[in-house]
Structures are given as C-alpha cells and as structure tokens.
Amino acid sequence: MIKPLRILGIDPGFGRIGYGLIEQSAGNNWVGVEYGCIETNPKESFVERLKDLHAELIDLIQKYHPDRMAVEELFFFKNVTTAIQVAQARGVILLSAIENGLAVDEFTPLEIKQAMTGYGRAEKGQMQKIMAMLLGIKEKIKSDDAADALAVALTSAQTLWTAKLR
C-alpha cells in the first residue's frame, strides 16, 4: 500500500503560527487532516518563544510525518520590529523542516490567494470558507492563521501537480 502524500503548511509568526496538514486522497483530491495554531507565551523572552516554536513544530512533524513543508514568505510589514521577529521565526520553521528531511516550498501571500481564489486580494473570511470547501472540512475554520496555513499547503500541492504535467 502506497503512503499518501502529506504536506504541512505553515503561516509564520512568533506569537501565533498557523499550521495545516493536508493529505492526498484517492482520485488526487486533497483533504484536511489537521489544522490549528501554535501559540507562544508572550511572557517568555523572544528566544524562549523561538525555542518553544521549534519544539512544537518538531512534535507536529513527528506526529504526522509530512513529506514536505510549505511556508508563506514574508511580504510586507508596517512594523519593522515585527517583520524582523517573524523573519527569525521563519528561520526556525525552515530549520525544523530541514532537520527532518522535508522538502520546502515557499509562496507569497499573493501567490497563495491567487491559487486558491483566482484573486490576489481575497479577504480572511473568504479564505476560511474556501479552504473548508476545497479540503472537505465540515466545521468552520475559526482561525484565519490555520486557514492560511491550509492554503499554503494546498498551493504546494497544486504546484506539484502542475510540475508533473510538464
């Protein structure tokens, strides 16, 4: 029996990190397996929060055994300090993937929204509804971070499918 392909999508941050795991089902459809948010403690130092993020990611990877990781790229931040902190968290996220032998795909928010909706300016609520519909998730996806992470993973899946057609 062939193991179905699994992709772990990540919406980076340092206080709240969205994750979404999708799996290829029969007929090349994709289904949502697990999704949610990793939240780090704002009372801890930034370095401790990065350590906690790393530990949580390793736990997710070891629990669900994804084949690859897809991560949203940084695009634009009004606050430079926040951008630097998210960039450092992205480094921890990418390191976690590499340490576990996962291939990594990276996409901008614009690429993800265009792939999921055909429109690069889709709103958070639209993304939550579309992701539930596309991945067969019955309940409402309450977190926009988790919905974004699922969208990153599905963008990766579509990119892989397109590459096979070439």
pLDDT digits (tens, 9 = 90+) for 3-36: 789 999 999 988 999 999 999 987 778 999 999 9
| pTM for the full predicted model | 0.92
105 is catalytic: no
Cα distances from 128 to residues 37, 38, 56, 65, in angstroms, run 14, 18, 23, 25
Share of the chain above pLDDT 70, in %: 92
> Is residue 33 within a helix (H) or strand (E), and if so which, with residue range?
strand 30-39
CATH numeric code, 6-165: 3.30.420.10
Residue 76 Cα distances to 40, 56, 86, 98, 107, angstroms: 22, 26, 11, 25, 13
Q: Which of 23, 72, 144, 148 is catalytic?
A: 72
Is 11 a residue of the active site? yes
Active-site option among 11, 23, 105, 148: 11
* Beta bridge partners of residue 110, listed in sequence order: none
Query: Does the active-site annotation cover 67?
Result: no
